[in-house]
Amino acid sequence: MTRRTIAISFWTLLFLSVLAPSHLDAASKLYLKDGTYQLVKSYEVKGDRVRYYSVERSEWEEIPTALVDFDATHRAEQQEQAVKAKQLQEAKQIEQKHISQQMVANGFPVAPGVRLPQDQGLFAFDGTLVIPLVQSDGDEVQDRKRMALNLAVPAPLLKRRLWVVLAGPKAAIRFHNVQPTFYAQFPDSTAANLQLIPVKSTKQDRVVENVDVGLKGKPTESRVSIPIRRTQVAPGVYKLEPAKPLGAGEYAFGEIKNNKMNLDVWDFGIDPAR
């Protein structure tokens, strides 16, 4: 038996131990009006008598119904049921968490026979292969026309404009599938802050976003994001799916915090199959 099989068997036994109570767990309390109780496996009311099976003496006994506090007995039964339901729910959560952790430890499965690498990062699944996306460094480039105009007058008249650009007109990683599935695997909140951004390609570079710096020096970033469906599939693993098919062109995943984008982005291109 492998170590992984032993581990799963342990959690399965824990789960089943809640589903199959022991002898004492199966017992309930039959409360009497004097404040005491009898530990019983079951009981039934027959006329003016209550017949019960005593756990302590392992035999059937009877007492008058006038001696039994049925309200307290029923409350105790409801509390026991609530405790068992909570234990069952906790056992299910523990088992599910353990299974998820095992899947991540062995590489989260995205398809039969296809798993994510164990490294953190952003990955694309095109229906056949898992492809790691590479981070590219974005640079801030100034609008030279505006800068020259502001220098020509005594005081600045216009906002200073910057562009965040990536080198080259196209990303190195290309997909023919117009709706690839992405998986973000990070130990922190990176996956929750990712946005999919269309990138404008020029002859020399690619523009990710515009940054306008006001006369008081306060920058304002502007970008367009593409809606994505974000689903947590395991601890630290999120599935990211474009809401609609992507057209031919350039794209990038950027980490956005407080409306500010990290200049290191994960870029890729779409070349639809013909």
Q: What is the pLDDT of residues 230-258, one digit of tens each?
A: 999 988 899 999 999 999 999 999 998 88
CA distances (Å), origin 221, targets 149, 158, 194, 199, 218 = 22, 16, 16, 15, 10
Residue 14 pLDDT exceeds 90: no
Is 184 within 8 Å of 120 (Cβ atoms)?
Answer: no
Q: Centre a 10 Å sphere on the Cβ of residue 173 and count the other Cβ atoms it contains.
A: 15
Which residue's structure tokens are 């990070």? 186
pLDDT in tens, 200-214: 988 888 988 766 654
User: Residue 149: beta bridge partners?
Assistant: none
pLDDT in tens, 221-235: 667 889 999 999 988
Three-state DSSP state, 145 = helix
Cα dihedral sign, 86-88-90-93: negative
What CATH number is given for 3-106 in this structure? 2.30.30.100
Question: In whole angstroms, what is the distance from residue 40 CA to residue 33 CA?
Answer: 16
pLDDT of residue 218: 60
Lowest mean pLDDT among 72-86, 149-163, 197-211: 149-163
pLDDT of residue 86: 82
**Angle formed at CA 111 by CA 110 and CA 113, multiple of 5 degrees:** 110
- Domain ranges in the chain are 3-106, 111-270
Which token pair is 38?
Answer: 């009898």
